[in-house]
Structure 1
Amino acid sequence: MERAGTAERERENLEHANQAPESLPRESLAGGEDQIDLFDLLLVLSAARRKIAIFTLTAMALGAALALLMKPTFSASALILPPNQGQSSASMLMNQLGIGGLAGGAVKSPSDLYLGILGSRTIADDIIAKFHLDREYKTKKLSDTRARLMKATAMVVSKDSLIHITVEDHDPRRASDLANAYIDELYAMNSHLAITEAAQRRVFFDQELADEKNALAAAEVDLRKTAEKTGVIQLSAQSEEIIRSIADVRAEIASREVQLQSLRTFATDQNPDTVRIQEEINTLRSQLAVLEKDPRNVQSTTTDFQAGRVPEVSLEYARKLREVRYHESLFDLLSKQYEAARIDEAKAAPIIQVIDRAVPPDKKSSPHRLFLTLGFAVFGLFLGFASTLVSATWRRMEQVPEYALKLARLRSGFPLGR
């Protein structure tokens, strides 16, 4: 009899142990007990293993279906090498003008500069118009199309200063065409932008040369009108020599001032070339002052001509002639500087070197179906755990009178029909 009673009790204990609770123990909610036994949690989760499995499998199926329905995305990459900024290559020609020591290097990081150009709105708009991306992206506003293109494009500078251009698209051919279009647009923009130091000087001297050409033409017109009015066609050789000397010095001063202005676009006032040119300007101004006041004090002049001895009828003509000689000398100096900058700019080409042009990719870059499916499965697993624990806690709270009353009030305060 004792053996039978003992066996019966062991069988009941075993059955009781196999029956996992559907809710958390009451002690975890009552009397300030905040700790929950890990073993009790495992029992609750074990009892709801079917529910958790359903959550996991359902989420996995949704992830697999989503991975199959999503359009594949292809990534095409291009690789370019930006130029290294160098010094002037026409130093011999510039030395005779007094600026042979100009240092290049206006751009400290060519890679960062070209990266900024590639991300410009102008290049993006040109690519959008070329490929009709508003229709491909189904966008109505240009700003939205531009944002979609920027989102699909990645541009980075590697440690070796190479620029990587990567474009993602659902069409592999269009992805490679878009990546190559960035290179083509960069070439086009680089052809008319003054990026290098030589190009900056060329643009600057080009503008100065155009202005001086107009000034020379205006001075020649004034001289012709004065000659017609006064009847003075030619001065003495001595007067011509002094006028030309004064005009040459004035032209040298103006030329140095133009050089100084160009240099200050990328150099400070403490730059050795800036200081040197400024000293040359001061010296030339002193020579001009001496020459204009008393030509006999100039070592290069042996004449004893005095401006006061010029006949009154010739004075106006002499002034106009001096202006013409001045603009002629200045135009000649600016032409040499412009040619020096143009030669330097030409020698800098080719500026951009393409290492790898983009080709249509043969494999998709996304979506990763396996990762997406596993991610949804993990999400479903945690969702099943959370749902099970919330349900178990809710049922246990209903068994505690204090919490049951609060839950009843909560339900009455939020009826579904209200």
Structure 2
Amino acid sequence: MDKEESIDLRELMQIVIRHKKIMCIIITVCTAIAMITAFFILPKTYESTTLVRAKSSSKLDLSGASAAMAALGVGGAATSPTMVYIELMKSRAVVNPIIEQLDLPAEKKENLTAKGFAKSSLEIINTKGTDLIEIKAKGESPEEAQQISQGVVDGFLNLMTQMNQDQQSLMAKFLSGRIDVARDDLDQATQKLDAFGQDKKVYVPEVQAKAEIEKMAAFDTMYSQLKVKEDSANAQLQSATSQLGKQNSALKEFNVADNPTIQKIRDSIVSAQVELVGLQQRYQDKHPDIIAKQQEIAELNTQLGREVSNYVDAGTVTMNPVQAGLIKDKVGAETDLAVTQASLSAIQGLQKKAEGDMSKLSSDSMEYIKLQRDVTIKQGIYVSLVQNYETARVQEAMNSMDIQIVDAADLPNGPSGPNKKLITAIGMLVGLIIAFGYTLLLYSKRR
């Protein structure tokens, strides 16, 4: 067997030597064709690069869930926005206007899709471990490459500005309606208090009643804050659900009640808020115990947001970053709403218990306390809603600052393609393959 292989190799070499001129011609022709194609036939391409830095969005968090609402930049930084930004830069909303502005034949524009254009003319890279995004655009001229690269950045900024303004407009519209309702409630509560005072001739409560009012003030303040937080969380949930509906995709449902870690953190937040109310009844706002308890609640909220993000990540690994972010927004709103409602229930239980201690007061004093507390609560809700509404309007008027341009799109000095050396080397390799095939053909005929 070894002898047969030795003879075959020698015979192959003899064929190569005998037909070396033909072999050289085949290799030379293939190499020449590749060179001609690379230098004269293939169109030149130019590449323009833009470097931007992604920032966490500064969207308004009206519900106070700074960590749980991190999905689309509504609060903390549980997830990096860079992958979402890269997907949005390739979207139809960004790419189609660029195609329309290019100097291309009408037929080519009609057949050119955003996905195909992004695949052939764009390369968007996120350097691992950083928040930098590099946008490389290819064009048939230096000016076209620069136009495409700059167009991606401009289109993305316009898209983000519109999305941010739409979200803030939705929030402002919701708050505007709630403000009208809160104003009417406050007016009615004030009128009832005034009417009671005129009827019973009670304008200033007795000393004991005044002490009870001060005692209940912490409950009333916390109740007002939680009610506004509940309304805002509902608005966030409606917004996220609406945006998910536009995705037209079958999305997985997430039930945070199935996660014991999230439930444990939620219960800890409720307990801490109840303890905070008790401290606020005894101390001033700047007391070390109150400050420490507020910091504990903030840390628990951050931990809750992190757990919610990890929980959703585990079930959305196959989805694109935009859908995953919207799901995080929705689950975060649902979690925040559940925590707020649980806290409200606990505070109301303490309120009823404290109200039982007022039974020793006169009926007029008790009614006065009730009416005055109603005014205080509704006034707190109204003031908070107005403040949030004004903040939402300011955010609506602001331009998007989701990315910062580090290096603007450059004008290429020379073509980046085609790669002439690579194409020539490929041509030579093809020639070698053909020559070897020709040698095998001659060998088989000779055998």
**What is the TM-score normalised by the length of structure 2?**
0.58
Alignment length, in residue pairs? 338
Superposition pairs of residues 13-412 of structure 1, within 5 angstroms: 33=4, 37-67=8-38, 68-83=40-55, 104-129=75-100, 131-132=101-102, 135=105, 138-141=108-111, 144-159=113-128, 160-194=130-164, 206=172, 208-216=174-182, 234-236=195-197, 252-253=222-223, 255-259=225-229, 270=265, 276-277=272-273, 281-282=344-345, 284-289=347-352, 296=359, 304-305=363-364, 327-338=378-389, 350-396=401-447
Any unmatched runs of 5+ in structure 2?
Answer: 206-212, 238-255, 257-261, 278-343
Deviation at residue 327 of structure 1 after TM alignment:
4.7
Q: Which has the higher contact order (CA 8 A, sep 6+)?
A: 2
Summarize the Cα distance change of 1:185–1:99 in structure 2 as closer, same or farther, 3 Å threshold.
closer
Indicate the SS of the match to 2:432: helix
Deviation at residue 42 of structure 1 after TM alignment:
0.9
Indicate the SS of the match to 1:354: strand
Deviation at residue 108 of structure 1 after TM alignment:
2.2
User: Whole-Å Cα distance in 1 between the matches of residues 397 and 204 of structure 2?
Assistant: 39
* AA of the residue aligned to 1:276: A
Listed one character per residue, the Cα deviations across residues 89-112 of structure 1 (whole Å, up to 9, x for unaligned) are x9xxx9xx9989999424421333
Deviation at residue 150 of structure 1 after TM alignment:
3.3
Q: Is the 8 A contact 1:137 1:148 kept in 2?
A: no
- Equivalent residue for 1:315? none
Deviation at residue 48 of structure 1 after TM alignment:
1.3
Summarize the Cα distance change of 1:139–1:98 in structure 2 as closer, same or farther, 3 Å threshold.
closer
User: Whole-Å Cα distance in 2 between the matches of residues 254 and 135 of structure 1?
Assistant: 62
Summarize the Cα distance change of 1:217–1:256 in structure 2 as closer, same or farther, 3 Å threshold.
closer
More displaced, 258-267 or 181-190?
258-267
Higher helix share: 2
Summarize the Cα distance change of 1:275–1:150 in structure 2 as closer, same or farther, 3 Å threshold.
farther
User: Bigger radius of gyration, 1 or 2?
Assistant: 1
* AA of the residue aligned to 1:151: S
Deviation at residue 335 of structure 1 after TM alignment:
2.6
- Equivalent residue for 1:405? none
User: Whole-Å Cα distance in 1 between the matches of residues 12 and 106 of structure 2?
Assistant: 53
User: Whole-Å Cα distance in 1 between the matches of residues 416 and 64 of structure 2?
Assistant: 58
Q: Is the 8 A contact 2:139 2:148 kept in 1?
A: no
User: Whole-Å Cα distance in 2 between the matches of residues 100 and 360 of structure 1?
Assistant: 42
Q: Is the 8 A contact 1:248 1:326 kept in 2?
A: no
Listed one character per residue, the Cα deviations across residues 57-76 of structure 1 (whole Å, up to 9, x for unaligned) are 22122212212111100000
Deviation at residue 349 of structure 1 after TM alignment:
7.8
User: Whole-Å Cα distance in 1 between the matches of residues 132 and 110 of structure 2?
Assistant: 35
Summarize the Cα distance change of 1:98–1:146 in structure 2 as closer, same or farther, 3 Å threshold.
closer
Summarize the Cα distance change of 1:169–1:240 in structure 2 as closer, same or farther, 3 Å threshold.
farther
Percent identity over the alignment is 19
Indicate the SS of the match to 1:386: helix
Any unmatched runs of 5+ in structure 1?
Answer: 1-26, 310-317, 397-418
Indicate the SS of the match to 1:380: helix
Q: Is the 8 A contact 2:16 2:439 kept in 1?
A: yes
Indicate the SS of the match to 2:43: coil
Deviation at residue 255 of structure 1 after TM alignment:
3.0
